[in-house]
Chains A and B, each alone.
Chain A
Amino acid sequence: MKIENILATKGMQVHTILPDRTIKEAARLLLQYNIGALVVVDDTGRPVGILSERDIVHAAARTDAILAQKVSAVMTQHIITGTPHDDIRSVERTMTDKHIRHIPVMDQGQLVGIVSIGDVVKAQLEQYAGEVDTLQTQITQG
C-alpha cells in the first residue's frame, strides 16, 4: 500500500499558510478545517515547514504573546517530504524513528497532500482488519 491510497480519500485541497502570517490566523484555519497541522509554504508554493497544534502548544508554554507571533517563528522547520509512491510501511517507520507526525507529499514538484501518523496507522490497521476478515470468511464459508 502506498501513500497515494491515503491521499485518495482526502479530497484535493492541501491546507497551507505563508510563514509571515500570525499564529492567530493559523489557529483559525486549524479550527475551521478541523485539522491538526498546516503546511507552511513560501510564495512559490514550496513547503518550508509544518505548523502543528503541538508546535503552538509548545510555543504557548514558552511565551504569552503567542497569538501575534509569526508562523515562521513557531513552525517545525526540519521537514521530511514524501511522494505518492512511498510505501506506507516504510513511511510509518520513518515517522516513528524520527518522531515526525506529518509528512507533506510532493509529486513532480507540486505539493499534493499531507499525511499524518494517524492516517498511516489507520491505513495499516484497516488493511490488517481486512485481511483477517477475509481469512475468517474463508474459514467459515469455504
Chain B
Amino acid sequence: MTQPGTESNPLRVAIIGSGPAAFYAADHLFKQNNLVIEVDMYDRLPTPFGLVRGGVAPDHQKIKSVTKVFDGIASNPRFRFFGNVEYGVHVTLDDLKDHYHQILYATGAQTDRRMGIPGEDLKGSHPATEFVAWYNGHPDFRNCQFDLSVESVAVVGVGNVAIDVARMLCLTPEELAETDTADYAQAALKNSRIKEVYVLGRRGPAQAAFTNPEIKEIGELAGADAFVRPEEAQLDELSRAEVDSSKDRTLVKKVEMLQELARRQPTGKARQLTIRFLVSPVELIGDESGRLVKMRLVKNALYKTDAGTLSPKATDHFEELPVGLVFRSVGYRGVPLPGVPFNDRWGVILNEKGRVIDPNTQQPIVGQYTSGWIKRGPSGVVGTNKPDSVETVMCMLEDLQKGSILNPAKPSWSDAEQWVKQRQPRYVSYADWQKLDQIELERGKAQGSPRVKFTRVEDMLAALGR
C-alpha cells in the first residue's frame, strides 16, 4: 500500500480540542503542499476556540479577533469539526485508532493548581479558573455562585489571569456593557458591592508575572483607583541589582510603572485595586458557618537560588487581611485523558517534543501526539502555541516519512462521520457553529455589545433545531 498523504489515500489526522494549539497544528498540516492531509477536530463543547472564547477576558475583544485566523484555517475543504463530542465520553482511543493515522491531543489545562494551605476550601474561596469560565459563559460553569455582596476581595497570584480577574471585578456597568461577558455575570457584577480588591504577589515588583500593557490598563480604570504600597514598590537589594544590570527594557519599564502607581493619590473612585508584593497567604480563616472572613499573610523576603532566581522565603512577620472572597490565581493544570500517559509531576501528557511517550519503554507511542498547554504546561499567550504546535507537527511529518503511523481499518471521512453520529447524534459541525456565531453577533448588535453568548448547550442545540 502506498504511504498515506495522496489524493486517493489522504493522511487522516484527529485533533482533540479546538483551542489555539489545535488550530495552529491544523494550519501547519495544511501547509504541506506535497501531502494530502485531512483534519477532523473534536471538542467537548459545541463551540470552538478553547480559552480564546472561555478564558481571554471579555473586555479584551482585540485578542479574541484571532478567531478570524482560525476561521480561515477551518475553511479548508479538508477540515471537519465535531463539536459537542468529548474524548473519553463519546469517543475512545480505540475508536480513533480505527479511523485515523495520527491523533493529536490539544486539550489545554482544564483545572487549577492548588495553594496547599489550610482553609483553601472554605465557602468564599474559589479558583480563578471557575470565575473566569463563569464570566465567559462556559456552559459547565454558568451555575457557579460567587458572593459579590462582600466588600473586600483578594486575588492570589500576580499573573495576567489574576489581573484579568481583578480588572473584571472593577469594571463599571458601562464598561461591562461593551463586553461579551455572559448576561448572568453582567447582572451579578453590576450589583457587586465590592470596594477593595487586593492582588497578592509572593515576590516583588521585578518578579511579577503580569505584562506591562496589563498594568497600564489597571491604572486607567474608570471605576477604580489603582495603588501599590510605596514600601512594597521599593526594590530590595537583590532585585535592584538584577534590574540595574538587566538589558531587558520591559522589565525596567514594569518596575517604573508599578512605582508610578505607588505615587498616586486616591481620586475618589468607587473601588480601590491594590497590588501587594512580598506576601503569601498561609491560612484562610472562616466564621462559625465556615464562610471566609479573613486571610493570614506572611511577609516574605527574597533570596537568590543557586541557579539565580530570586525566590520568596517567609519571615516571622504576619498580618491579617479581612476578605470575604478569595480567587486563587496561581496557575492552571492539565488533567489526564483516558488511555493517554500522563506526567503527574508537571501536569501534562507525557511527551518528548510533542510525541507521546510510553512510560514503560520511554519510547514514543506510534501515532499519538500533543501540543499546547497539555504538552508544555499552562504558560504563554495565544501565539506561543504556534511554534509549539509546529514542533509537534514536524515530529508527525518525520514519523510519517518513516512509515511510523497507525494503520486504521476505516480511514475515510464518511466512515468517521457515521461513527461519530452513532456515538453523539447531536454533534455540531463548523457550519452549525457559524450559525450560532451569527446569532450571537446579531443579538450583540441589537444591544450594542460585541456578542451575546449562548451559555447552555441545550440552547445552542435548540437554536440549531436539534
A residues with CB within 8 A of B? 1-5, 7-13, 80-87, 89-91, 93-94, 97, 103, 107, 112, 126-127, 129-135, 137-138, 141-142
Contacts and interface: CB of A to CB of B under 8 A. Distances in A.
Contacts of A135: 383
Interface of B: 61-63, 65-66, 68-69, 207, 242, 248, 305-311, 343, 345-346, 348, 350-354, 357, 359, 362, 375-377, 379-388
B307 A9 contact: no
Contacts of B248: 89
B124 to A, nearest CB: 28
A12 B305 contact: no
B345 to A, nearest CB: 7
Contact of B357 (A11, A81, A142): A11
B307 A90 contact: yes
Nearest to B384: A130
- B contacts with A: majority SS: mixed
Contacts of A5: 376-377, 379
8 contacts: A3-B307, A8-B346, A9-B351, A9-B376, A12-B362, A82-B307, A84-B345, A130-B383
A28 B431 CA distance: 55
A85 B305 CA distance: 10
A9 B362 contact: no
A62 B384 CA distance: 45
Given A4-B346, A7-B346, A141-B65, A127 B310 contact: no
B386 A129 contact: yes
A8 B307 contact: no
Nearest to A132: B383
B305, B359, B381, B386, most chain A CB atoms within 10 A: B305
B345 A107 contact: yes
B387 A87 contact: no
Given A7-B346, A11-B362, A91 B307 contact: yes
CB-CB nearest 10 A-B residue pairs: A130-B384, A133-B383, A94-B308, A82-B307, A134-B383, A130-B383, A142-B62, A141-B65, A90-B308, A8-B346
Nearest to B352: A11
Given A80-B307, A82-B306, A12 B343 contact: yes
Contacts of B66: 134, 137-138, 141
B242, B307, B351, B382, most chain A CB atoms within 10 A: B307
A136 B346 CA distance: 31
B336 to A, nearest CB: 14
Nearest to A97: B308
